[in-house]
């Protein structure tokens, strides 16, 4: 059966709409599962944390335990991926400027000095990091930007989000 | 050296100052405790659904099954140990193999904002088995015992027995030999040493000032100060009516990550049996570059003793400079180091009688055999009296945490 002009017009409109959606999706980072730039590491916090932007210095103090409270005296709970994970590598290299061994020694020494009672908590997958961050008041974690979903609160680092030019955590 | 006679007005003034000082100390301690009290009331914590990184010491090997909820108190235990070997031409300490300290570190959270820290050490005794009753094989010591109330980053208040925050090394490494690069501590902060008061029993407030990228931190403490034996803190109470005060300020600027610069002041009255009383003032400073390539530590302390009834005033100085560098080759396992240290004791200082002068060098290398164990070897050259032969020694240590 031959297709009429009306049917062809509808097909073209559908194709055009799909094309526009694809373009929009590619221009809107971090709005849906699987968006964002793979390789960039997003800093994700519990939605109650009253922070939208952190400097690299703030983030370093959080990861190394020098800063243990958010504004409002909510205690920080640091969730960090287990060794070998890309997110952990980026945080140790860019934020802490430490090797894995140095990072471990830093935290052992910190607890031994009585500066902190609790060391960072280890998470073994991005999914578990996201779930625990959502459940835990004051939690902060690091997730590959490609796995960030729209219900997560992503914090800017020095005013930039993952995928933007000059974003540091990659 | 200046000797003074009996001076009643000075004595009355000293007693008045002591009374005021004691009352100030009490008010401060109460204030510190009250400020932290609301923190102690909070008992609900976040779920702890994962393994603690350092409390288990190993983020991969020691992490137990994940906990599903916070339970208080939550006790974590860690240990530090070392085995040593020494070969010296003139023994100042042990020769041959010796057991180092067996150190247990305990930390327990009582609530999200209240924590207890303890450090116990067992040290082998050279006189084990002698005397009546026979001396035990090890000395047990409560090195630190602290309860800490974390109100915020700006205010944390604690009470207990500390390593006095007047010296960077003294609070950075404690009894965990594995944590420090070298085998030996600088002699000015030697355990059992007298130059600075290594231990402090009392109350401490600490925190960070809102200072932007300068990261200014403070520690203010009031406590018992030196005991009848000046190398010890007043564990069972102060031996005089004047408390000791300590103030430590330091900065860790963002722009030079790894740098810490600070200074401290310590004020106390020293009362020793059979000796006149002295005021003690210690002024100290430190600068530390905490990266490993390189690692730089430099500290200086001046200890001044002023006779309360009399005019004798003495001044003593000690400093050290240590440099280390983690070699980039060989998987970054090797770390050579060097330290120079100097101690100059005023010969008229009766409080420090018996403390020898020192010009010493330490040259060694550390090899990290695993993430939690290290082999270290070092040579030491120490000259106690100018013009006399130096004491030389070679030392080896395996230190670890478990």
Residue B64 and residue B45 in contact, taking contact as beta carbons nearer than 8 Å: no
**Rounded distance between C-alpha atoms, residue B168 and residue B285, angstroms:** 9
State the pLDDT at residue B20. 56
- Beta pairing partners, B316: B303
SS3 A66: coil
State the pLDDT at residue B192. 83
Residue that has been written with the tokens 């335990």 in this structure: A65
The more confidently predicted of residues B89 and A14 is: B89
Token pair for B255: 């722009």
Q: To the nearest whole angstrom, how far is the Cα of B124 from the nearest Cα of chain A?
A: 22
pLDDT per position as a tens digit, A143-162: 999 999 999 999 999 999 99
State the pLDDT at residue B5. 40
- Beta pairing partners, B250: B217, B262
Residue that has been written with the tokens 């003074």 in this structure: B4
State the pLDDT at residue A17. 60
CB contact under 8 A, B179 and A128: no
CA B379 to chain centre: 24
Q: Which of B57-66, B228-237, B299-308 has the weakest average pLDDT? A: B57-66
Token pair for A132: 């625990």
Predicted TM-score (pTM) of the model is: 0.82
pLDDT per position as a tens digit, B285-304: 999 998 899 999 999 999 99
CB contact under 8 A, A108 and B208: no
C-alpha triplet B301, B216, B177: angle, nearest 5°:
50
Q: B292 vs B55, B254, B286, CA distance in Å?
A: 23, 18, 17
Strands B295-307 and B313-324: antiparallel
Q: Is the pLDDT of residue B199 over 50?
A: yes
pLDDT per position as a tens digit, A46-86: 999 999 999 999 999 999 999 999 998 899 999 999 999 99
- Mean pLDDT confidence for B328-352: 96
Residue that has been written with the tokens 């040493």 in this structure: B193
**Rounded distance between C-alpha atoms, residue B144 and residue B118, angstroms:** 5
User: Which of A106, A116, A117, A141 is most worth mutating to test chain B (most B CB atoms within 10 A of its CB)?
Assistant: A117
- Mean pLDDT confidence for B127-151: 93
Q: Is the pLDDT of residue B67 over 80?
A: no
Token pair for B368: 């990290």
Q: How confident is the model at residue B342 (pLDDT cuts 50, 70, 90)?
A: very high
Q: How confident is the model at residue B273 (pLDDT cuts 50, 70, 90)?
A: confident
- Tell me the pLDDT of chain B averaged across its residues: 85
Of B53, B152, B153, the CB nearest to A107: B53
Nearest to A112 by CA among B37, B36, B120: B120
Element spanning B19, H or E: helix B8-41
CB contact under 8 A, A57 and B47: no
**Rounded distance between C-alpha atoms, residue B91 and residue B85, angstroms:** 13
Residues in B closer than 8 angstroms to A101, CB to CB, are: 332, 368, 371
Of B57, B144, B153, the CB nearest to A69: B153
SS3 A27: helix
Q: B43 and chain A: CB distance < 8 Å anywhere?
A: no
Percent of residues, chain B, with pLDDT higher than 70: 82
Phi-psi region of A104 (alpha: psi -120 to 50; beta: other; left: phi over 0): alpha
Residue A147 and residue A30 in contact, taking contact as beta carbons nearer than 8 Å: no
Burial of B91 (0-12, 13-18, 19+ CB in 10 A): exposed
Residues in A closer than 8 angstroms to B174, CB to CB, are: 112-113
State the pLDDT at residue B92. 72
Nearest to A116 by CA among B141, B112, B35: B112
- Mean pLDDT confidence for B172-195: 92
Q: How confident is the model at residue B25 (pLDDT cuts 50, 70, 90)?
A: low
């Amino acid at each position: 059966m031959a297709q009429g002009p009306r049917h062809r017009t509808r097909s073209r409109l559908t194709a055009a709409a799909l094309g526009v959606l694809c373009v929009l999706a590619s221009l809107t980072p971090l709005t849906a599962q699987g968006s964002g730039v793979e390789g960039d590491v997003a800093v994700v916090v519990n939605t109650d944390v009253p922070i939208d932007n952190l400097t690299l210095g703030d983030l370093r103090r959080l990861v190394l335990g020098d800063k243990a409270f958010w504004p409002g005296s909510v205690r920080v709970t640091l969730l960090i991926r287990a060794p070998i994970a890309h997110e952990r590598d980026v945080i140790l290299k860019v934020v802490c400027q430490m090797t894995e061994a140095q990072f471990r020694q830093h935290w052992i020494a910190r607890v031994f000095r009585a500066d902190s009672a609790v060391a960072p908590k280890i998470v073994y997958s991005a999914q578990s990091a996201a779930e625990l961050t959502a459940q835990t008041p004051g939690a902060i974690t690091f997730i590959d930007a490609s796995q960030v979903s729209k219900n997560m609160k992503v914090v800017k680092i020095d005013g930039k989000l993952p995928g933007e030019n000059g974003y540091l955590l990659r | 050296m200046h000797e003074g006679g009996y001076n009643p007005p000075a004595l009355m003034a000293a007693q008045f100052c002591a009374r005021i000082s004691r009352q100030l100390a009490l008010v401060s301690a109460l204030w510190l405790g009250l400020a932290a009290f609301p923190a102690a009331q909070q008992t609900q914590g976040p779920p702890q659904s994962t393994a603690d990184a350092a409390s288990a010491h190993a983020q991969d090997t020691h992490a137990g099954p994940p906990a599903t909820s916070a339970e208080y108190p939550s006790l974590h235990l860690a240990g530090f140990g070392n085995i040593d070997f020494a070969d010296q031409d003139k023994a100042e300490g042990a020769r041959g193999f010796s057991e180092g300290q067996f150190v247990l570190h305990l930390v327990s959270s009582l609530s999200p904002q209240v924590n207890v820290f303890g450090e116990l050490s067992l040290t082998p005794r050279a006189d084990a088995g002698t005397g009546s009753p026979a001396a035990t094989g090890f000395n047990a010591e409560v090195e630190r015992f602290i309860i800490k109330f974390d109100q915020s980053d700006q205010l944390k208040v604690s009470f207990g027995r500390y390593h006095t925050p007047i010296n960077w090394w003294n609070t950075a490494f404690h009894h965990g030999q594995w944590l420090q690069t070298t085998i030996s501590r600088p002699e000015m902060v030697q355990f059992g040493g007298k130059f600075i008061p290594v231990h402090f029993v009392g109350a401490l407030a600490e925190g960070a000032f809102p200072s932007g990228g300068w990261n200014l931190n403070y520690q203010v403490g009031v406590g018992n100060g030196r005991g009848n034996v000046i190398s010890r803190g007043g564990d069972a109470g102060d031996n005089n009516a004047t408390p000791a005060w300590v103030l430590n300020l330091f900065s860790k600027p963002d722009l030079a990550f790894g740098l810490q610069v600070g200074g401290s002041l310590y004020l106390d009255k020293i009362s020793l049996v059979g000796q006149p009383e002295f005021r003690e003032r210690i002024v100290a400073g430190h600068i530390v570059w905490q990266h490993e390539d390189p690692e730089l530590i430099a500290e200086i302390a001046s200890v001044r003793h002023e006779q309360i009834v009399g005019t004798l005033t003495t001044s003593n100085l000690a400093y050290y400079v240590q440099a280390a560098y983690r070699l980039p080759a060989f998987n970054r396992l090797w770390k050579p180091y060097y330290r120079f240290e100097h101690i100059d004791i005023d010969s008229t200082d009766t409080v420090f009688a018996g403390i020898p002068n020192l010009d010493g060098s330490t040259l060694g290398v550390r090899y990290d055999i695993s993430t939690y164990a290290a082999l270290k070897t070092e040579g030491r050259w120490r000259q106690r009296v100018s013009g006399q032969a130096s004491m030389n020694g070679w030392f080896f240590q395996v230190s670890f945490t478990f």
